[in-house]
Structure 1
Amino acid sequence: MITIDQVVKRRRSRTILDHVGFEARPGRVTAFLGPNGAGKSSTLRILLGIDHPDSGSALFNGRPYRTLSDPLRTVGSMLEGSGAHRSRTARNHLAWIARSNGIPQRRVDEVLDEVGLAGDAKARVAKYSLGMGQRLGIAAALLGEPEMLVLDEPVNGLDPEGIRWIRGLLRGRAEAGGTVLLSSHLMSEVADAADDLVVIAGGRIVTTGTVTEVTAGYADLEEAFFALTGVTR
């Protein structure tokens, strides 16, 4: 279970997050949706212990990320792409992460194959497209075979085949009992994968619920998104 409870974050006089709270449950894909600048990444950075809230809490199974004894085996995460140095190869990047966390090296080739990068494992990251970089970031998140996944904008840069692939990956993780939380500003790209939606705008949660509950009274998910967030088409 991922639990975010009344998180407040301010920068100088500006309130970035205003009492943000929601849950992501095991066996379900929770999509954290909102326009660019709504507070999605700020929330996930606090959840992953990169930033501190002014008040409130963000927990994995009741514990802050920084207190997890074996974090990569508990939570797999991706923020802002792969995080790999451009001069390294994908295999070297993942091998370094695996060694630093006591993860068997066999996992490197397993995840490269799972994300479709086995044929490009020896290429330097500098030569990767945006979509390939996204796949490498997801591979790193999967290395420790974690029970929970937190992915920030995972569909960015993916072509239609890649979007279908990520939807299948997320659904498979949830159906195996995992907890999946992903952020996106692209409503339609994640709709087919999601069970639950959390919509944020201006640093505040505007609605939560299942896809059916959130879209009730609207023609479709896209119409619901624009109406709830106040974003113009």
Structure 2
Amino acid sequence: MITIDRVSKRKGRTRILHDVTFEARPGRVTGFLGQNGAGKTSTLRILLGLDRPEHGTALVCGRPYRDLDRPLTTVGALLDGSGAHRARTARAHLRWVAASNGLPGSRVAEVLETVGLTGEGRKRAGRYSLGMSRRLGLATALLGDPAVLVLDEPVNGLDPAGIRWTRQFLRDQAAQGRTVLLSSHLMGELAETADDVVVIHHGRIVAQGGLAEVTGEHATLEDAFFALTAGGASW
């Protein structure tokens, strides 16, 4: 469970988040939708303890990230690529992350299999394609077998096959009972993946609920998004 309650933040004199409030529930993919610069990444950084809010709370399984005893066993995150050094092999990277978090080395082979990289584990990360790098990032997020996954724009730049694979992967993770929070500005893809949708615009939540509820009488989620953000969108 993820709970964001009245989170606000300033950057200099500009308030970039205004009382952001929403939940992401277990067994569901929650799409966090907004244009670039709307406040998605700022919200996720606060959730993951990388930034502090001006006020409000961001909780993972009822606790702030900084209070988690072993964070990787509660929440797995993918914010920017795989995080692996280009000269390291995937196996070496995962072994290092596992050891530094007190996790058994046996998890390395398990997560490589989960993301379909078993045969590529001895290849250096610098030789990975974008899609393979994203899979390695997902493998890293899964090392601690967390209840929560937080992903920021995971399909950006992927080819159709990579997007389709990621979509099914996220659906599978939710089906296993995990809470999946997926940040994206790709409305068509979110409509194919998410159970629930939270729309943020200029740092404010303008809609949230089940996919059908947010789409409403509009033909597509894209149509609903532009109706909700009419007069202020900047792409």
* Matched-pair contact (CA < 8 Å) for 1:4–1:57: yes
Deviation at 1:61, TM superposition (A): 2.0
For residues 176-187 of structure 1, the aligned pairs below 5 Å read 176-187=176-187
Deviation at 1:76, TM superposition (A): 0.8
Deviation at 1:125, TM superposition (A): 1.5
For residues 154-193 of structure 1, the aligned pairs below 5 Å read 154-193=154-193
1:207 corresponding residue in structure 2 = 207
Deviation at 1:140, TM superposition (A): 0.5
1:229 corresponding residue in structure 2 = 229
1:94 aligned onto 2:94: yes
1:115 aligned onto 2:125: no
Unaligned runs of 5+ in 1: none
1:94-140 CA distances to partner (integer Å, 9 max, x unpaired)? 11001111211121111112212222212221122222211111110
Output the CA distance in 1 between the equivalents of 2:234 and 2:7.
Answer: 27
TM-score normalised by L of structure 1:
0.95
1:56-114 CA distances to partner (integer Å, 9 max, x unpaired)? 00001221001111211111111111111112111111110011112111211111122
* Matched-pair contact (CA < 8 Å) for 1:72–1:144: yes
1:138 corresponding residue in structure 2 = 138
1:70 aligned onto 2:70: yes
1:41 corresponding residue in structure 2 = 41
Output the CA distance in 1 between the equivalents of 2:157 and 2:114.
Answer: 18
TM-score normalised by L of structure 2:
0.95
Deviation at 1:226, TM superposition (A): 2.4
Output the CA distance in 2 between the equivalents of 1:175 and 1:124.
Answer: 32
* Matched-pair contact (CA < 8 Å) for 1:20–1:203: yes
Deviation at 1:222, TM superposition (A): 1.6
Output the CA distance in 1 between the equivalents of 2:14 and 2:58.
Answer: 21
Output the CA distance in 2 between the equivalents of 1:112 and 1:229.
Answer: 40
* Matched-pair contact (CA < 8 Å) for 1:28–1:178: yes
> Secondary structure in 1 aligned to 2:193?
coil
> Secondary structure in 2 aligned to 1:182?
strand
Deviation at 1:227, TM superposition (A): 2.3
Q: How many residues align?
A: 233
Which moves more between the two structures, 44-53 or 112-121?
Answer: 112-121
Code of the aligned partner of 2:151: L
Deviation at 1:164, TM superposition (A): 1.8
Code of the aligned partner of 2:183: S
2:194 corresponding residue in structure 1 = 194
Output the CA distance in 1 between the equivalents of 2:220 and 2:35.
Answer: 17
* Percent of matched pairs sharing the same residue: 64
Deviation at 1:232, TM superposition (A): 6.9
Output the CA distance in 2 between the equivalents of 1:232 and 1:19.
Answer: 21
